[in-house]
């Protein structure tokens, strides 16, 4: 029976880089995102380059009905998923009160609820199949409060804590859980979030999606709980935990405010 790695957010950015890094290792894949054309051409390319089987499913994960449909289909299909990569996510920069509530809700539906539901639904399928592995993508911002990027940073903190908790709970069922906390990565994420791309692209914390994906896949082999690619990023995560909270709030707030793109 073939086994698959299911990757959400696989149509571009970090999810795509993770899909490619896994394809390179001969893993069969199930790619999930909203854009059918992108998924179709990625599936075709990865199949040809690596001789693996690549399936894809379009799903707006922020839509609970579509997510229910996806989970039902996966359950009925009998496909064996031994790796779940929760890579889909979005950000929203700017003053919290000025945001449209619908945008805030979509962020939480995707970053928090969909990820949690996939851990639950696919986690249960893994247990029934005798085990598996889950990689949740959080962010370096998970270690700090993030004024002007408030819900996004809070959702990353949620993913970090959920993943570490599930790691302990799932141990007895043979399901390993890891969490990836990358620093800035040059993807469409900056622009879509409303951050100044030019300034972020000069950050010394920046790593390419391919570097992050390679680091993550190697860390998964070693079953690392917390994966922070790049020594500078690991230093920042440690500092955020050591410095006084008020200082971190103030500094991060000033930084993020200065990074808001003037649209
Ligand atoms: N880039 C960074 O600097 C950075 C740093 C740390 C953490 N992260 C985290 O990494 C994750 C991925 O970021 P990225 O940089 O790869 O962003 P990205 O380039 O914008 O990619 C986001 C992916 O998520 C998918 N997606 C978005 N909304 C979706 C929805 N409603 N339903 C299903 N799929 C959806 C997108 O595909 P479709 O549009 O086709 O649906 C795309 O494949 C996010 O959680 C982000 O917080 C990013």
pLDDT on residue 101? 98
In 87-225, which ranges are E strands?
132-137, 175-180
Atom of ligand 1 nearest to the CA of 35: 40
pLDDT on residue 201? 82
In 139-174, which ranges are E strands?
none
Candidate of 17, 38, 90, 92 to mutate for ligand 1, largest count of ligand atoms within 8 Å of Cβ:
90
Does residue 93 contact residue 149 with C-beta atoms inside 8 Å? yes
CA of 28 to the centre of ligand 1 (A): 21
pLDDT on residue 245? 95
How big, in percent rounded to 5, are the helix, strand and coil portions of the chain?
Answer: 55, 15, 30
| Residue matched to tokens 């004024």 | 147
Distance from the Cα of residue 201 to its chain's centroid = 20
Give which of 168, 183, 92, 202 is closest to 138, Cα–Cα: 183
Atom of ligand 1 nearest to the CA of 106: 31
pLDDT on residue 263? 54
Q: Mind listing the domains of the chain with CATH numbers?
A: 3-259 (3.40.50.720)
- Which DSSP letter does residue 115 get? H
pLDDT on residue 261? 77
- Going across the sheet that includes 80-86, the strands are 54-58, 28-33, 3-8, 80-86, 132-137, 175-180, 226-227
pLDDT on residue 198? 86
Which residues have any ligand 1 atom within 6 Å of their CB? 8-15, 33-35, 38, 59-62, 87-91, 110, 137, 139, 182, 184-185, 187-189, 192
Burial (0-12, 13-18, 19+ Cβ within 10 Å), 38:
middle
pLDDT on residue 262? 65
CA of 203 to the centre of ligand 1 (A): 20
CA of 192 to the centre of ligand 1 (A): 9
pLDDT on residue 200? 83
Q: Is the dihedral of CA 200, 206, 207, 213 positive or negative?
A: negative
| 10-residue stretch averages of pLDDT, the chain, 263 residues long | 95 98 98 98 98 98 98 96 98 97 98 98 97 98 96 98 98 97 95 89 93 98 98 96 95 94 65
d(CA 32, CA 183): 23
């Amino acid at each position: 029976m073939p086994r698959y790695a299911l990757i959400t957010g696989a149509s571009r950015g970090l999810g795509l880089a993770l899909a490619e890094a896994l394809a390179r290792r001969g893993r069969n894949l199930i790619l999930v995102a909203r854009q059918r054309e992108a998924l179709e051409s990625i599936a075709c390319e990865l199949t040809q380059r690596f001789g693996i089987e690549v399936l894809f499913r379009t799903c707006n994960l922020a839509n609970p009905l579509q997510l229910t449909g996806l989970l039902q289909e996966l359950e009925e299909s009998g496909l064996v998923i031994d790796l779940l990569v929760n890579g889909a996510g979005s950000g929203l920069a700017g003053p919290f009160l000025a945001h449209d509530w619908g945008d805030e809700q979509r962020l939480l539906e995707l970053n928090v609820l969909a990820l949690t539901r996939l851990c639950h639904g696919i986690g249960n399928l893994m247990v029934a199949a005798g085990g598996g592995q889950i990689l949740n993508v959080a962010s370096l911002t998970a270690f700090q409060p993030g004024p002007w990027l408030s819900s996004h940073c809070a959702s990353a903190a949620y993913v970090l804590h959920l993943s570490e908790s599930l790691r302990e709970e799932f141990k007895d069922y043979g399901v390993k859980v890891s969490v990836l906390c990358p620093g800035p990565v040059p993807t469409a994420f900056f622009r879509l979030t409303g951050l100044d791309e030019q300034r972020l692209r000069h950050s010394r914390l920046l790593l390419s999606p391919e570097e992050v994906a390679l680091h993550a896949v190697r860390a998964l082999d070693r079953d690392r709980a917390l994966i922070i690619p790049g020594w500078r990023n690991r230093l920042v995560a440690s500092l955020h935990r050591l410095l006084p909270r008020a200082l971190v709030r103030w500094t991060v707030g000033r930084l993020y405010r200065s990074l808001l793109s003037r649209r």
